[in-house]
Structure formats: C-alpha cells, structure tokens
C-alpha cells in the first residue's frame, strides 16, 4: 500500500515510511492512495473472529508490503491480549436503540490505548529493521501522555520525554505517567502552561542542535497508524449488531477528528454505516463546519471534557481532502489561507461529500450532565463526561429523526468514568472507583523531574539524558 499527502507535494511512502514519518514533509497528512474495499461476503466472513484476528483482517490491506499477515497477527495478539476485557472493546446495551462501545479497557483507561499500544510495537519492529533508535518528545495536558508512555515503556529502541505543565494535570493523570519507572521513560514537569510546554516541543523539532543528534518522533493523532487501529472497533461492533446485513450509526465524542475519521474509513472499506455523528462540547468548530460550512477558530473554553477542548481539529484536513476530490494543490492553498486567517469556508464538493455521512451536534455542560444522569438512571451505567457528550448528541439526533429508530446507534465510550471522578460525582452523586488492575496507582512510587519554564533548560535536559536508556 502506498500513501499520499493531503497537500500533494510530499513523496508517496509505504506503511513503514508513514508510521515513522508522522506528518508529511509538505505539512500535509498521509492517506492511502486508494481505499481497500471488502465485499459483503468478506465482511460476513469476519463474524465471530477474536479481536486480534479481526484486527489483522481489517488492517492487512493497509500494511501490505511492510508487514506480512503473520507478523501483523503476532503483533495484534501481543497488544490486544493484554487488555482488561477479553472482548477488548465490548458493547453494552442502554435501551432498545442505544449502545455504548467501551474503548477504555487498555492500561490508561481511555480509547487512545487501542491505537498507541499498537503504534509502540510498530515502532519497535520497523526501527529494528532499520537498526535505528527513536526519541519521542511530546507535551500533554493529560490523556495522550499517559497512553504514549504506557505504549513505549520498556521498548528497546524507543525512548520518550513527556512534558506536562507542573501542577496542572489531575493526580490520576500525573500518576498514570510518573509511576511508569522504565529507564526509557522521562517525565518532565515544566513550569508554565500546557501551551508553553507544547511550544518547547515544537521548537525542538526545528532546532538543529537537537535534530542533528537525535532521531525525533511524535505520537500525536496525525499518525496514520493510529487511525488505522481505530477502524477495527467499528468493524467489531457493527458485526455484532448484524453488519453487513444491517446498517449501524455511531456517535463519536470528537476533538481532533481522529476517532470519527476512522469510522469514515470503515465506511469507505464497505462497512454499512448509516451515519457518523460528530459530537462536540461548546468548543464546537466542527459542529459549525459541518452544519454551516464555516470552519473558523475561536479560542478554547475549558470544560469538564478536556480531551475535546480544541481550537482546530488536525485530522479534519483528511476529510476535506478525500471528500473534496483529492486535489492536493487546492487543499494546500485552502489550508495555507486558513493558517493565515484562522477561518475558511468549505467548498460545495466538500460540504456535499461530508454531509452524505456526517451529522453533528454539540453539548454544553448541563446537557452533558443530563446525559450522565440518563445513562445512570435508565440503564445503570456510570459513564465519563466525554462519553456523555456523545450520548447527548446520539439521543438528540435520534429524537429528531436524523437516525431512524430501527438503526442501532452506538456511542463510543472514550474514557473510563474513574478518570474524571469529580465531574461524574457532581452529575450522578457517586464517585467511580478505579478498576482493580490500576487500583494501586496511589500507592506506587513516582519518578519525574521538575524544570524551569525556559526552552533552553528543557532542551539541555533532553540532550543530556537521551540515549542513556
């Protein structure tokens, strides 16, 4: 499989190349040169497969030429054999129409584990082949950092420096990072805000003093391999609900548009998806773009769903490219104009292409809390606030008739409620407990270094400690 950039100028790469590259050299994002497609019979033949076997079937076309089916299968068994639920991503029924797809049974209790655990193994495999090492530098305000650390802890050829704003992540989030004591994991608590930490990371990627000695890598959701891994659970859940002989709809709590774009990919591959609901909190740039064609950045307001507090959605570019007719030069011009003015209008082709499959809705804090209460009272399920945003959107669009009553409607449960205990307690009056498998989080030793807020201090620390793992 060959991959092309959304901006049309970077060289085409194979799967190994795009996994290690992340962002394309022209500033664009990689996508497969064409979508692999399964027939209805092929999809029917996937019924009943265990998750690692299903994952191998779904992902095999994307990795062709870089991994054999046997290599992929061995990786999938290793990665998904360690999840806290034998089904990996189990479905839970809420009422006649509504379902939850639990994506939080990985080590850090959020859906990002499903993809990052795989990415860590892919890095290790490809780096061994090339006899290279990789130094991952990232900044986190919470979820991504812990999932990335757990994905690479103990790997031989990868080390990670994860910056977080000192004192500004929750205790659970910090401990999920700092209690991983592998020598290849470095937690840096930086004075200042998340944006300051993020700025240090960006600067390191363009600082020749760093890039001349270290092979730097990133793990953010623009990496194609992460999206690919997320396609699998759309297949797993739709198959259980009767696909390909019945259509299924999804509601996806959305931030950077990675998770919901994976649903779009599943549909391109032949999975009969009725609708994908893009559910946003009050930071609703995507809802405005999909409902009015108007994509305009507008500052970020902090909410009880911090993983969806985004100003712009990096993966939206992939949809604009694919739904807009795959014209890299035109998209590059559109994106450059957006970078200057922080606003753009979708073309008619882009709006029609997106409108055929996507619907959208937003939830404010009151609506989110009410969705948590409904899940608790009507179905006995304690859900996290991000999932609550998705459930609110699902119920609103089912009530409005956008999703017909006979179509099963699956809300992606993106985090375990115990990751956000304060907001959950305020909504439903009880404090969710951490699952037993992470239960001693508060008894474990922590490892982190505290650094002053200036760039040079962070850079010198990374340079001084890299390669010692």
Ligand X SMILES: *Cc1c(COP(=O)(O)O)cnc(C)c1O
Site membership for ligand X, residue 257 (CB under 6 A): yes
Site membership for ligand X, residue 110 (CB under 6 A): yes
Site membership for ligand X, residue 317 (CB under 6 A): no
Instruction: Find the largest Cα–Cα distance for the chain.
Output: 60
CB of 290 to ligand X, least distance (A): 13
- Binding letters toward ligand X, positions 332-371, x by CB under 6 A: ----------------------------------------
Contact status, residue 362 vs residue 342, Cβ threshold 8 Å: no
Answer for which of 258, 324, 408, 417 binds ligand X (CB under 6 A) is: 258
Judged by beta carbon, residue 143 or residue 274, the one nearer ligand X is 143
**Contacts of ligand X in 163-202 (CB under 6 A):** none
Judged by beta carbon, residue 50 or residue 297, the one nearer ligand X is 297
Give me the sign of the Cα torsion angle 441, 307, 277, 404.
positive
Active-site residue 202, yes or no? no
Judged by beta carbon, residue 43 or residue 227, the one nearer ligand X is 227
Answer for which of 5, 6, 187, 221 binds ligand X (CB under 6 A) is: 221
Number of Cβ atoms within 10 Å of the Cβ of 330: 17
Judged by beta carbon, residue 155 or residue 389, the one nearer ligand X is 389
What is the three-class DSSP state of 364? coil
Question: How many residues form the binding site for ligand X (CB under 6 A)?
Answer: 16
- Phi and psi angles of residue 162, each rounded to the nearest 5 degrees, phi first: -115, 120
DSSP category for residue 417: G
Site membership for ligand X, residue 254 (CB under 6 A): yes
- Phi and psi angles of residue 345, each rounded to the nearest 5 degrees, phi first: -105, 140
Answer for which of 415, 418, 428, 462 binds ligand X (CB under 6 A) is: 415
Answer for which of 143, 274, 317, 322 binds ligand X (CB under 6 A) is: 143
- H or E element that contains 291: helix 285-292
Answer for which of 138, 255, 263, 408 binds ligand X (CB under 6 A) is: 255
| CA 415/CA 442 separation, integer angstroms | 19
Contact status, residue 289 vs residue 358, Cβ threshold 8 Å: no
Around 467, how many Cα atoms within 13 Å sit in the side-chain half-sphere? 8
Site membership for ligand X, residue 112 (CB under 6 A): yes
Tokens of 26: 């022209």
Judged by beta carbon, residue 67 or residue 375, the one nearer ligand X is 375
Tokens of 10: 């970077």
Which residues make Cβ contacts (< 8 Å) with residue 56, sequence separation at least 6?
69, 72, 73, 76
The C-alpha angle 9, 12, 16, rounded to 5 degrees, equals: 135
Answer for which of 137, 308, 427, 466 binds ligand X (CB under 6 A) is: 308
Site membership for ligand X, residue 388 (CB under 6 A): no
From 23-31, 48-56, 253-261, 265-273, give the range in contact with ligand X by CB under 6 A: 253-261
- What amino acid positions are annotated as catalytic residues? 112
Residues of this chain that bind ligand X (CB under 6 A): 110, 112, 143, 221, 253-259, 307-308, 386, 414-415
């Amino acid at each position: 499989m060959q991959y092309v950039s959304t901006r049309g100028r970077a060289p085409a790469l194979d799967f190994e190349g795009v996994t290690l590259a992340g962002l394309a050299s022209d500033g664009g994002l990689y996508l497969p040169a064409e979508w692999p497609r399964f027939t209805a019979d092929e999809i029917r033949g996937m019924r009943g497969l265990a998750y690692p076997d299903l994952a191998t079937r779904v992902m095999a076309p994307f990795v062709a030429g870089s991994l054999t089916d046997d290599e992929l299968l061995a990786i999938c068994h290793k990665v998904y054999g360690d999840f806290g639920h034998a089904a990996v991503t189990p479905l839970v029924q809420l009422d006649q129409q509504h379902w939850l797809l639990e994506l939080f049974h990985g080590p850090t209790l959020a859906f990002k584990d499903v993809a990052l655990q795989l990415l860590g193994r892919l890095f290790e495999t490809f780096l061994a082949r090339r006899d290279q090492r990789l130094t991952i530098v990232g900044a986190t305000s919470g979820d991504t950092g812990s999932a990335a650390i757990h994905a690479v802890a103990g790997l031989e050829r990868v080390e990670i420096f994860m910056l977080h704003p000192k004192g500004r992540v929750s205790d659970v989030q910090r401990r999920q990072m700092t209690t991983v004591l592998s020598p290849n994991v470095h937690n840096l608590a930086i004075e200042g805000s998340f944006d300051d930490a993020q700025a240090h990371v960006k600067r390191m990627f363009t600082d020749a003093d760093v890039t001349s000695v270290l092979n730097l890598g990133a793990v953010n959701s623009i990496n194609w391999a992460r999206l690919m891994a997320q396609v699998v659970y759309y297949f797993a859940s739709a198959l259980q609900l009767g696909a390909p002989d019945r259509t299924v709809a999804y509601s996806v709590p959305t931030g950077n548009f990675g998770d919901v774009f994976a649903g779009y990919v599943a549909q391109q591959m032949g999975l009969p998806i009725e609708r994908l609901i893009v559910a946003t909190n009050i930071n609703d740039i995507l809802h405005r773009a999909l409902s009015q064609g108007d994509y305009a950045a507008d500052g970020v307001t902090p909410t009880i769903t911090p993983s969806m507090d985004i100003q712009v959605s990096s993966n939206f570019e992939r949809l604009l490219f694919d739904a807009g007719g795959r014209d890299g030069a035109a998209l590059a011009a559109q994106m450059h104009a957006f970078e200057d003015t922080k606003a753009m209008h979708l073309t008619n082709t882009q709006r029609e292409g997106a409108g055929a499959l996507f619907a959208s809705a937003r939830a404010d804090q009151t609506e989110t809390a009410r969705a948590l209460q409904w899940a608790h009272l009507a179905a006995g399920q304690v859900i996290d606030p991000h999932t609550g945003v998705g459930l609110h959107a699902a119920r609103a669009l089912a009530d409005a008739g956008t999703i017909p009553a006979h179509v099963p409607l699956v809300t992606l449960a993106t985090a375990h409620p115990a990751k956000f205990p304060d907001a959950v307690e305020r909504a439903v009056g009880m404090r969710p407990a951490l699952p037993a498998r992470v239960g001693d989080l508060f008894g474990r030793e922590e490892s982190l270094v505290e650094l002053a807020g200036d760039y040079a201090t962070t850079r010198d620390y990374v340079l001084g400690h890299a390669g010692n793992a």
